[in-house]
Amino acid sequence: MNIELDEEHLELAASVRDFADNVVAPASYQYDTERRLPMEIIAQMGEMGLFGLPFPEEHGGQGKDYLSLCLAVEQLSRVDQSIGVTLEAGIGLGAMPVFRFGTDAQRERYLPSLTAGRALAAFGLTERDAGSDAGATQTRAELTDGEWTINGSKQFITNSGTPITNLITVTAVTGTRISSRGGEVPELSSILVPTPAEGLTVHPSYDKVGWHTSDTHPLTFDDVRVPEENLLGERGRGYANFLSILDEGRVAFAALCTGAAQGCLEQALAYAKTRNVFGTAIGSNQHIAFMIARMEARTHSARMAYYHACSLLMAGKPFKKEASIAKLTASEAAMQNARDASHIWGGYGFLNENIVARHYRDSKVLEVGEGTTEVQLMIIARELGLVE
């Protein structure tokens, strides 16, 4: 595997890094305090073509590869995880399902605005008792006279209530089927719900520990009706399709985690070189130096893990195990680096105006989102033939 980035990738990463440092970072504390998604920054990201990076030009995209998306997400997440996840989820959970499984008509209707960043889409999977166990989905969709009628609720749905949200993909039980073991199980399908929609309630945003700028809402569907042709992919393939979307998404999510780990490393290193105690920089203390060395090692391991998974994805090879390894490695690196960076910064690391403190708050959800640590371990163990 060649882990060297080519000139095009290096230029993209440098461009997004410059945008992150000079546009996103200076405003991030303000928006974090206001707990709102800065639509002006999202608009600039759209103008840069970031929302269209991995999509073909025929759909309004940039025609780049999946690594390009990952590099952009990593650079943004160094300074603001909320902005990073807005891009990652907007593409991976919003536009990608339409691109992968949509009809030509669905792609023509939704992708141009999504890839341009003029609109955002959300993926409504998680429920009170269904997320990691998607088979426990309670949301129902009944087909009558050419219309789907959807009833149920979803929670923790990213990008579902922004001023430019125009689509929510909903997983719902559409009937039953016979499993490979001979028993009857729910038939899970995916359905496109344009927003706003009569009967759809987007409840107020959560009061979250972190990711204050990210747009996250619970949703209620009360007799929401959409045409039969809004079925996304084959009926009954919703579960399989969402698993493949999550596999891809975990690679980009690992890039997000890597960016968070890198951001903490950079902040800790800079402070350790300039903060003097008893007449010497604290970085000259072996304990601090070794702590930062471990931060560097974690970040490097996380980056190599997602590079490897991404290379397999782009080559069309199996990458499920590697995606889970990347997500597991990178999320733990982000959380550990955030802890260490805040410790190195001391009292200043406990102030919300400090990016280190925001990373400390934000990073816990990285071990939960897009599949918990335990789910990643389960997938890795299954791929090793240890569990069914």
Contacts of 343 (CB under 8 A, 6+ apart): 291, 349
CB-count exposure of residue 159 (10 Å: 0-12, 13-18, 19+): buried
Q: What are the C-alpha distances in Å from 141 to residues 153, 176, 230?
A: 12, 12, 12
DSSP state of 371: S
C-alpha 90/C-alpha 123 separation (Å) is 9
By C-alpha distance, which of 76, 77, 55 is closest to 65? Answer: 55
Question: Is 370 an active-site residue?
Answer: yes
| Tally of CB atoms within 10 A around 68 | 21
Q: Beta-strand (E) ranges in the chain? A: 120-124, 140-144, 147-158, 165-178, 184-194, 200-202, 216-227, 231-232, 276-277, 280-281
Backbone phi, then psi, for 166, in 5-degree steps? Answer: -125, 5
Look at phi and psi of residue 154 and say left if phi exceeds 0, alpha if psi is from -120 to 50, else beta: beta
C-alpha angle 324-99-375 in degrees, rounded to nearest 5: 20
Residue 260 contacts residue 363 (beta carbons within 8 Å)? yes
CB-count exposure of residue 213 (10 Å: 0-12, 13-18, 19+): buried
C-alpha 350/C-alpha 342 separation (Å) is 7
C-alpha 17/C-alpha 27 separation (Å) is 15
C-alpha 218/C-alpha 126 separation (Å) is 9
Q: What is the widest separation between alpha-carbon atoms in the chain? A: 80
Catalytic residue, candidates 74, 322, 367, 370 = 370
Active-site residue numbers? Answer: 370
